[in-house]
Amino acid sequence: MSTATGISRRRLLGLGVAGAAGAAAVGAFAGRTLPGGSAPAHTEAAGGAVPFYGRHQAGITTPAQDHLHFVAFDVITEKRGELVELLQEWTAAAARMTQGKSAGPFGPVGGDPQAPPDDTGEALDLPPSQLTLTIGFGPSLFDERFGLADRRPPALVDLPSFPGDALIPEISGGDICVQACANDPQVAVHAIRNLARIGFGRVSVRYSQLGFGRTSSTSYAQETPRNLFGFKDGTANLKLEDAAMLDEHLWVAPGDGPGWMTGGTYLVVRKIRMHIETWDRAPLAEQEAIFGRDKARGAPLTGRDEFDEPDFTKTGADGKPVIAENSHVRLAHPSRHGGARLLRRGYNYVDGSDGLGRLDAGLFFMAYQRDPRKQFIPIQMELARHDALNEYIKHVSSGVFACPPGVTDAGDFWGRALFT
């Protein structure tokens, strides 16, 4: 998207037009319509910038954007100083890119023509698109390489193997993860590509995953989206408006573990293949019984409206529970897990077809929480053992990461308190 002069907002900012003049230019841009009076392709709300600095990292309670590019890196340098420098460089680039600027100060075309550009350029004409970049540190980072073994939080456990797991090691784990979310997939891909480029020689990409169509709402202002089985997903999620619940279930509090994690949270990722063609042959009544919710409105089978509380005691004419014992929502419900909740922030994925005519598709499940030992692990153990949904899904990749608190200002960097 371009300004009246034909120079993009990202380019303007990337070329260093800052301060009052830059702000005025951006302000003018933000309010303008395209020639002919049509609305911009991205509204400012969808295309605007999410603040990078704050007590918590952005991209967790931020209203879930439409697109994901998730990456897990292996650290290949063994020098602690090089890793710290990389985190500093990444933080500076992330602070810039999330505000719609280029990854480096010169941008795709403003530097020395004899040197590779400090930004790859494919987001040159695009608005910030609510890009957020969220970092996490995996258990393997806390081995002997960087002197971090005694700084590993007890809550950052290796996940146990769950019944039915079919994990592929090459797309599981990772020393460091970065979740890029944006309302434009090209902006998310650009951000991860540039972080990987900056990390050359110090990290290598272990795996990455594209996701589209968020499968959760993280704000009451958002409509509940649908997953690839056609059901509303994210109804009973933690929402950013529930501040007390976030303190109880999401953010690491003082005394929970090492001080460097206070204000942070833990992320569990699971790539879950969904057997779409088998599901599509299941009768509607069976699909609804599996989730315990109706397909049209997402209401519990004991209620009428989406946000009605399920009644697990209610029985039908046959004397059986209306919401089946092996239904997904009964097994995952907080009442079964001592009140434990998750902030789910997953995305649909389709990686093409599998060569046998079936979609290679599913849910890239991501859930943030205060302590995976008390939240994800017991919930998933229950689901893995009893969930009727298991006939239609397969967990193929897994990861757990400690996501540090937010970067407070330009002097701070991702994970500073861990390394100092």
User: Least distance to ligand L6N33NVT from the beta carbon of 56, Å?
Assistant: 21
For ligand L6N33NVT, what does the binding mask look like between residues 273 and 302, x meaning CB under 6 A?
Answer: -x----------------x-x---------
Q: Which amino acid is at 251?
A: W
Q: Decide whether 65 or 237 has the Cβ nearer to ligand L6N33NVT.
A: 237
Nearer to ligand L6N33NVT, 151 or 345 (CB): 345
Cα–Cα distance for residue pair 154/135, rounded to 1 Å: 19
- Residue 184 vs 371, nearer CB to ligand L6N33NVT: 371
> Using alpha carbons only, what angle is made at residue 300 by residues 266 and 273, rounded to the nearest 5 degrees?
50
User: To 10 degrees, what angle do helices 80-97 and 185-198 make?
Assistant: 150
Q: What gap in Å lies between CA 372 and CA 155, rounded to an integer? A: 6
Nearer to ligand L6N33NVT, 146 or 376 (CB): 376
Closest CA to 388 of 322, 331, 313: 331
How many other β-carbons are positioned within 10 Å of the β-carbon of residue 143? 11
Stretch that binds ligand L6N33NVT, among 5-13, 133-141, 259-267, 375-383 (CB under 6 A): 375-383
- Stretch of residues binding ligand L6N33NVT (CB under 6 A), selected from 7-15, 22-30, 233-241, 256-264: 233-241
State yes or no: residue 365 binds ligand L6N33NVT (CB under 6 A). yes
Q: Quick check: 205 binds ligand L6N33NVT (CB under 6 A)?
A: no
In the complex with ligand L6N33NVT, which residue's Cβ is closer, 130 or 237?
237
Residue 325 tokens read as 């014992």
Among 17, 334, 394, 417, indicate the residue that binds ligand L6N33NVT (CB under 6 A): 334
If the CB atoms of residues 142 and 279 are measured against ligand L6N33NVT, the closer one turns out to be 279
Question: Distance from CA of residue 392 to its chain's centroid?
Answer: 23
For position 379 contacting ligand L6N33NVT by CB under 6 A, the verdict is yes
Which segments of 199-299 does DSSP mark as H helices, in order?
Answer: 243-249, 276-279, 284-291
CA dihedral sign of residues 87, 91, 92, 96: positive
- Rounded Cα–Cα distance for residues 208 and 188 (Å): 12
Q: Determine, following the binding rule CB under 6 A, whether residue 236 of this chain makes contact with ligand L6N33NVT.
A: yes
